[in-house]
Amino acid sequence: DTAVSQTPKYLVTQMGNDKSIKCEQNLGHDTMYWYKQDSKKFLKIMFSYNNKELIINETVPNRFSPKSPDKAHLNLHINSLELGDSAVYFCASSLLRIQQETQYFGPGTRLLVL
C-alpha cells in the first residue's frame, strides 16, 4: 500500500492555466506538507497543515492555495501558472508536529509550464 500518494505524476500545461495536484496519505497522520524542488534541486517547504488547519505558509505567492478537505488529504491548487512554477512538488506527512518526527514523502508531481 502506498503511504503517501500524489496525482498526477506528470503535469504539462500552458502558462496562465489553473491546475491542481492531489495528495492523500493512508498513515493516519495529523500533519501534511507541500515542498517544492526547483530545477537546481533545492527542496523547500511551502505549506504545512495540521488537522486541516494551515500552520506554515512560507511566503508562497497567493496563486498557490492549499486545501485540506480532511486530515488524509492536502491538495494544491495553482492559479495563473507561470514558467517559474515548473518544478517537482512533493507532498509529505507526519504523525506529530514535533522535531523528532519522521516525515514521509510522496513520489512527487513533475509540473512543466510551457
Partner 1 sequence: DAKTTQPNSMESNEEEPVHLPCNHSTISGTDYIHWYRQLPSQGPEYVIHGLTSNVNNRMASLAIAEDRKSSTLILHRATLRDAAVYYCILREGGSEKLVFGKGTKLTVNP
Q: Could you say which of 39, 41, 59, 62 contacts partner 1 (CB under 8 A)? A: 41
Residue of 87, 89, 82, 79 lying closest to 33 (CA atoms): 89
Of 25, 18, 20, which Cα lies nearest the Cα of 8? 20
Nearer to partner 1 among residue 8 and residue 16 (C-beta): 8
Report residue 58 CA to chain centroid gap. Answer: 12
Cβ proximity to partner 1: between 33 and 113 the closer is 33
**Residues 29, 75, 90, 93: which binds partner 1 (CB under 8 A)?**
90
> Parallel, antiparallel, or unpaired for β 109-113 and 10-13?
parallel
Min. distance of Cβ 95 from partner 1 in angstroms? 11
**DSSP letter (8 states) at residue 72:** T
Contact in structure between 61 and 84 (CB atoms under 8 Å):
no
Question: Residue 101 interacts with partner 1 (CB under 8 A)?
Answer: yes
Instruction: Give residues 56-75 in contact with partner 1 (rule: CB under 8 A).
Output: 56, 58
Q: Which parts of this chain interact with partner 1 (CB under 8 A)?
A: 4, 31, 33, 35, 41-45, 48, 55-56, 58, 90, 92, 94, 96-108
